[in-house]
Amino acid sequence: MNDRLTIAGKTFGSRLFLGTGKYASPEETVGALEASGTELVTVAIRRLDLDNPGTKTELDFIDWSRYSVLPNTAGCRTVDEALFTARLGRSVTGSDWVKLEVIPDPKYLLPDPIGTLHAAERLLAEGFVVLPYIHADPVLAKHLEEAGCATVMPLGSAIGSGQGILTLHEIKIIIENARVPVVVDAGIGAPSDAALAMEIGADAVLINTAIAKATDPTLMAGAMRKAVEAGREAWRAGRIASKPYASASSPLEGVAR
């Protein structure tokens, strides 16, 4: 059946987006991307090592004909850094999509709501398709939607922490109010987290550390793929309500005595 996701006019069959950081080898990167079934892959932008300009990275082993690239502004602490990196990313990737991150705090890597909105407004004016990474703040999400962002990407918990969806309640509110796709980004540690995000109605999830740092990234990538599909199907299938008491699943009458 057809249950595809459309962002800024581009349609995706997979609702699992992948990051490319922290993999131990190009083989693990390529294996995980393939096993995940992802169609959208985010990359960072960094200075070239001028002394070894030809050095290959894991990205050089990826068959880019199979994936859309999503340059991000990871590492940018200020609006100006994010704007500059976004423009460089557009030039090097040829894509005008950007995963916008403005993150002043080094310990918890939490995004700056004020700076993110300012940067988003600037980049939208320059014709970018902006996917902002944000704290799970429903009012901020609405501001960014109204500014013209293509999605909102609220965090489940701190980047790379694997704590899961600590912001479940707020993300439910964001989903309830959003008119753009909601992508849960950061914090997912296990398939159950990814499934939960999809069950409450998220449109997609973005995962990096939970796959890249698993003991077996390729196997975990496949597990995450199944979990995202399971969560989405459960959302469509209509889960049962949670009740504080029991409900027998066998007839109460007719026991032999």
Partner 1 sequence: MRLTVNGKPREIASDEPAPPDGLALPALLRSFDINPKLVAVAINGDVIAKDAYGAAVVHDGDDVEIVRMVGGGAS
Residues 30-89 that bind partner 1 (CB under 8 A): 42-48, 50, 53-54, 57-59, 69, 71-72, 74-76, 84-85, 87-89
By the rule CB under 8 A, 222 interacts with its own copies = yes
Q: Are 171 and 205 in contact (CB under 8 A)?
A: no
Contact with its own copies (CB under 8 A): which of 28, 58, 203, 229?
229
Q: What are phi and psi of 233, to 5 degrees?
A: -65, -35
Identify the residue whose tokens are 């699992």: 16
Under DSSP, the state recorded for 185 is E
Give me the 140-179 binding string for partner 1, x by CB under 8 A, dash otherwise.
-------------------xx-------------------
Give me the 18-57 binding string for its own copies, x by CB under 8 A, dash otherwise.
-x-xx---------------------xxxx----------
Cα 231 to Cα 211: distance, rounded to the nearest angstrom: 18
Q: Give the angle subtended at the CA of 97 by the CAs of 44 and 190, to the nearest 5°.
A: 60
Give me the 210-239 binding string for partner 1, x by CB under 8 A, dash otherwise.
--x---------------------------
By the rule CB under 8 A, 208 interacts with partner 1 = yes
By the rule CB under 8 A, 236 interacts with its own copies = yes
- Minimum CB distance to partner 1, residue 3 (Å): 25
* Full DSSP string of 62-79: S-TTSSEEEEB-TT--SH
Of residues 113, 97, 95, the one with CA closest to residue 154: 113
Q: Give the angle subtended at the CA of 51 by the CAs of 47 and 53, to the nearest 5°.
A: 60
Identify the active-site residue in 10, 22, 56, 99. Answer: 99
For residue 24 the two structure tokens come to: 């131990």
Cα 198 to Cα 236: distance, rounded to the nearest angstrom: 10
Q: What are phi and psi of 172, to 5 degrees?
A: -60, -40
- Minimum CB distance to partner 1, residue 1 (Å): 28
Residues 115-174 that bind its own copies (CB under 8 A): 117, 135, 137-140, 142-143, 157-164, 166, 169-170, 173
- Minimum CB distance to partner 1, residue 160 (Å): 7
Catalytic, 99? Answer yes
